[in-house]
Amino acid sequence: MAAPMLRWGCRGRRWAFARVDGGSCHRRGAPTGSTSNRIRGQSSVAQQPLHTAQKPRKGEHKWAAVVGLEIHAQISSNSKLFSGSQVRFSAPPNSLVSFFDASLPGTLPVLNRRCVEAAVMTGLALNCHINKKSLFDRKHYFYADLPAGYQITQQRLPIAVNGSLIYGVCAGKKQSQVIPKMVRIKQIQLEQDSGKSLHDDLRSQTLIDLNRAEGQLRVDANISVHHPGEPLGVRTEVKNLNSIRFLAKAIDYEIQRQINELENGGEILNETRSFHQKLGCTMSMRDKEGKQDYRFMPEPNLPPLVLYDATSLPAGADPQQVINIDQIRETLPELPSVTREKLVQQYGMLLEHSFTLLNEVGLLEFFQNVIKETRAEPKKVTSWVLNTFLGYLKQQNLAVSESPVTPSALAELLDLLDSRTISSSAAKQVFKELWKREGKTPGQIVSEKQLELMQDQGALEQLCHSVMEAHPQVVMDVKKGNPRAVNKLIGLVRKATQSRADPVMIKEILEKKMSL
């Protein structure tokens, strides 16, 4: 009850679609009623596009989908939004309930400063306009997990509005190209959370836990389809989606269901639906044709929330009694979009590589530590970190923090490669040895396995001469201009040196001898 959460909302986005077949869902067993956990948040809502366009087949009509997301996100705080009760996951039911949480007469809400600061920080991170004055409202409705009969929210004037979020969409044949997209954030608002309803079907009863709803993230998706150039279609709302995977599945299914329904002469009802995780489909919960009157009214027990910036801060104001927007802005860490832009500009890497570095926990720090300790070019470091290093991690399902290869070890290996002490194939062999966790340095491995490149120019020239004499037909092919024959000769020389000869040096010697 009164748990600290943020609710953020965005304007819907549109995509073009061809007609989609399918979209039916058959229930197995008894119909599903309300979900066991009802969660309402202190959060705000965001609408994001999660679909890509499809080309219509010949003779088909194009469809456009509009999706808006209402995201309820829990604020990380020690106490609740309007009371001093603790916030603790998996606490015994109703063990963290104050008089205000239980809605006893005469109790008053006290706004949690930490929650306001978190809401401002979220708004700044999402490029929102922070309202220096925001208001709290009462949203009236009856449900057992809301003993006061109303919920404190920010309906009229929320704390932040008009933001945006840039994200990447994978494209291309191999899904390796990342295309940046932007979604608009309509608003962010502080909102009181409800309790949690636990439905016991065996005893036909419902128990209420007023500690708080335990979900850290919940999403409601509003979905509609229409033909481009025509009015928007009737929307449905899919409630209480608690994972990104189920969110994507629910949106995919609901878009297909609506298109299929309309293509077959049916109509879309303005209703609330739930997503059945096992069946992978949405199911009707209740219709929304008769719009519920929440009887919004100003919250009489909370004054307007007033924030300040450097220009409006009163002289001599106690920092503990005011919230300074600019001061919170200074504490923001570097945002991912800024970091990606720096990586592209500083190291000349592809945008998709910058996304990968940031999306894997700890990978960016690993990359930067290697860069600090090696003389190798940034592009070579990028290639080794994203291809070889990350490939080994994924193959063994390890996190970056669990890697047996440290940034220092990889930096030393790249230095050996950069100085042409070893070949690229030998470097991969050394990396494989490093992964065995035997505590050896790249230099020790190179020395023990005699992987150094041949530095004796005379000996290498003699070896090239011997190989040419042993393979006269290949030499003739080279002289005829066959490029594959050159590679074959290089391969033969490297084989004779157990891959210890530099291919570039071998090619230079061979070309010199061919010209004689």
Pairing relation of β-strands 271-276 and 236-241? parallel
Return left, alpha or beta for 498; rule: phi > 0 is left, psi -120 to 50 is alpha, else beta: left
Q: 3-state secondary structure string, 244-310? A: HHHHHHHHHHHHHHHHHHHHCCCCCCCEEEEEECCCCEEEEEEECCCCCCCCCEECCCCCCEECECC
pLDDT for residue 22 is more than 50: no
More confident residue, 121 or 512: 121
Which of 482, 209, 178 has its CA nearest to residue 358? Answer: 178
Compute the distance between CA of residue 42 and CA of residue 218 in angstroms, rounded to an integer: 11
Q: Which pLDDT belongs to residue 28? A: 36
- Say if residues 454 and 501 touch (Cβ distance below 8 Å): yes
Question: How large a percentage of the chain has pLDDT more than 70?
Answer: 85
Compute the distance between CA of residue 393 and CA of residue 409 in angstroms, rounded to an integer: 16
Compute the distance between CA of residue 187 and CA of residue 46 in angstroms, rounded to an integer: 8
Least reliable range by pLDDT among 57-66, 268-277, 422-431, 481-490: 57-66
Vertex 12 angle, CA 139 and 339, to 5°: 105
Mean predicted lDDT score pLDDT of the chain: 85
Reading the block at residue 59, the tokens are 């003779």
Q: CA–CA distance from 311 to each of 132, 307, 324, 326, 327 (Å)?
A: 12, 11, 10, 9, 12
Mean pLDDT of 377-396: 96
Instruction: Please write down the long-range contacts of 393-402, taking CB distance under 8 Å and 24 or more positions apart.
Output: 399/361, 399/362, 400/360, 400/361, 400/362, 400/363, 400/365, 400/366, 401/361, 401/362
Compute the distance between CA of residue 180 and CA of residue 165 in angstroms, rounded to an integer: 10
pLDDT for residue 268 is more than 80: yes
pLDDT level of residue 408 (50, 70, 90 thresholds): very high
Q: What is the DSSP string of 43-75?
A: -BB---------PPPTTPPPEEEEEEEEEEEE-
pLDDT level of residue 59 (50, 70, 90 thresholds): very low
Task: Return the CA Rg of the chain.
Answer: 31
pLDDT level of residue 111 (50, 70, 90 thresholds): very high
Q: Which pLDDT belongs to residue 3? A: 55
What residues form DSSP beta bridges with 160? 130, 188
pLDDT for residue 50 is more than 60: no
Compute the distance between CA of residue 221 and CA of residue 47 in angstroms, rounded to an integer: 8
pLDDT for residue 429 is more than 80: yes
Q: Which pLDDT belongs to residue 213? A: 57
- Say if residues 226 and 261 touch (Cβ distance below 8 Å): no
Measured in residues, the chain has a length of 516
Compute the distance between CA of residue 373 and CA of residue 380 in angstroms, rounded to an integer: 14
pLDDT digits (tens, 9 = 90+) for 313-346: 888 888 888 999 999 999 999 998 899 999 999 9
pLDDT for residue 31 is more than 50: no
pLDDT for residue 47 is more than 50: no
Pairing relation of β-strands 133-134 and 305-306? antiparallel
CATH code given to domain 457-514: 1.10.10.410
Compute the distance between CA of residue 432 and CA of residue 405 in angstroms, rounded to an integer: 10
Q: Is 491 helix (H, G, I), strand (E, B) or coil?
A: helix
Q: CA–CA distance from 308 to each of 5, 98, 161, 311 (Å)?
A: 22, 31, 16, 8
Q: Which pLDDT belongs to residue 19? A: 39
Where along the chain do its domains lie? 64-287, 336-449, 457-514
Vertex 468 angle, CA 467 and 470, to 5°: 65
- Say if residues 209 and 243 touch (Cβ distance below 8 Å): no
- Say if residues 68 and 221 touch (Cβ distance below 8 Å): yes
DSSP 159: S
DSSP 394: H
**Cα 508–chain centre separation:** 49
- Say if residues 225 and 258 touch (Cβ distance below 8 Å): yes
Sheet holding 137-140, edge to edge: 150-153, 137-140, 297-298
Task: Specify the pTM.
Answer: 0.74
pLDDT level of residue 284 (50, 70, 90 thresholds): very high
